Amino acid sequence: MRIDFHTHSSVSDGTDPPAAVMRQARTAGLDVVALTDHDTVDGHQDALQELPPGLTFVPGMELSCRLDGHSVHLLAYLFDPADAALAAETETIVRSRNERARLIVARLADLGVPVTWEQVADIAGDGVVGRPHIARALARAGVIERPADAFGPAWMGPGGPAYVRRYAPDPHRGIELVRAAGGVTVLAHPRGSGRGWQIPGEAIAGLAVAGLAGIEINHPQQDEATRAELAELAQSLGLIPTGGSDDHGELTGFRIGTETAPAGSCQRLAERASGAAPVRG
């Protein structure tokens, strides 16, 4: 059983449409794939419509949270997509991200950078406009070499001239909202390299008490030693170990199916969820 619990489509900041992500999942030899776009379930319907035979689809989302001023990502699965409170929260997050994107582009204009809102919106297509799209626009304009350079303190990173803070709920609230919608949550890339801050073990223990179901161990930014540490932590806290590629199409170089979750993890998560069920193609 090959499971990839973490993928993005062009509905958020991935580069491929949901249906293409599903085809790639099957081509990569996966049996189970979750679509976890940032703060939106808008890609689910398209993914389901062209679900390849034999592939099981797990509806998901990656919820943007903030703990003590630091970004924390929660993977949410199998919640009721029509739940009003969760939908209202994700709308607030998306609206705030859009406003931030506009503010960043305005600041870049003040700095004399030749990137327009139209260029950024064009890169985002139908997706939620976010900083990755601005980063790509900056690289295209030749202002920076690689999109990743945009996230440092010289540009959009904390302390940078184009840094703008946006709304994100506390992960305890995120866990509660997803639970109330019948879903389960998994802490995404808790020790992902290159992410600056790393969530302390005590904070993870606090989230476990709040109802966190699992922890992402297999992730392209976590090496073998880190995975061993996280597996131990998962064991001690009773959290389900999971994994996924964090595929964003062409954006990050993390490709679908290159990281997988332990075989029993899908069933273990599904047993704890009541808001939706995996769908077999």
Q: Site residues for Zn ion, window 49-68 (CB under 5 A)?
A: 62
As measured in angstroms, the least distance from the Cβ of 189 to Zn ion is: 6
Counting beta carbons within 10 angstroms of the beta carbon of residue 69, is it exposed (0 to 12), middle (13 to 18) or buried (19 or more)? exposed
As measured in angstroms, the least distance from the Cβ of 246 to Zn ion is: 4
Q: Does 179 bind Zn ion (CB under 5 A)?
A: no
Amino acid at 88: A
Q: Site residues for Zn ion, window 71-100 (CB under 5 A)?
A: 73
As measured in angstroms, the least distance from the Cβ of 33 to Zn ion is: 13
Q: Measured from the CB atom, is 4 or 62 closer to Zn ion?
A: 62
Q: Which stretch binds Zn ion (CB under 5 A): 95-103, 114-122, 188-196, 212-220?
A: 188-196
Return the residue of 4, 39, 89, 246 that touches Zn ion, per CB under 5 A.
246
Q: Measured from the CB atom, is 11 or 113 closer to Zn ion?
A: 11
As measured in angstroms, the least distance from the Cβ of 103 to Zn ion is: 22
Measured at the CA of 198, the angle between CA 9 and CA 89, to 5 degrees, comes to 50
CA 48 to chain centre: 19
DSSP state of 182: T
Q: Measured from the CB atom, is 38 or 179 closer to Zn ion?
A: 38
Cα distances (angstroms) measured from residue 224 to each of 34, 99, 191, 218: 23, 39, 11, 9
Q: Measured from the CB atom, is 73 or 100 closer to Zn ion?
A: 73
Q: Measured from the CB atom, is 2 or 195 closer to Zn ion?
A: 195
Phi/psi of residue 252, nearest 5 degrees: -110, -20
As measured in angstroms, the least distance from the Cβ of 192 to Zn ion is: 7
Q: Cα separation of 51 and 281, whole Å?
A: 5
Reading the block at residue 170, the tokens are 């506390």
As measured in angstroms, the least distance from the Cβ of 244 to Zn ion is: 8
As measured in angstroms, the least distance from the Cβ of 199 to Zn ion is: 12
Across-strand partners of 57?
33, 279
Q: Please provide the distance, in angstroms rounded to a whole number, between the alpha carbons at the two ends of the chain.
A: 15
Cα distances (angstroms) measured from residue 203 to each of 111, 112, 146, 226: 38, 41, 33, 17
Q: Cα separation of 121 and 130, whole Å?
A: 9
Q: Measured from the CB atom, is 115 or 215 closer to Zn ion?
A: 215
Q: Does 188 bind Zn ion (CB under 5 A)?
A: yes
Q: Which stretch binds Zn ion (CB under 5 A): 63-71, 156-164, 178-186, 243-251?
A: 243-251
The site for Zn ion, by CB under 5 A, has a size of 4
CA 131 to chain centre: 14
Q: Which residues contact Zn ion (rule: CB under 5 A)?
A: 62, 73, 188, 246
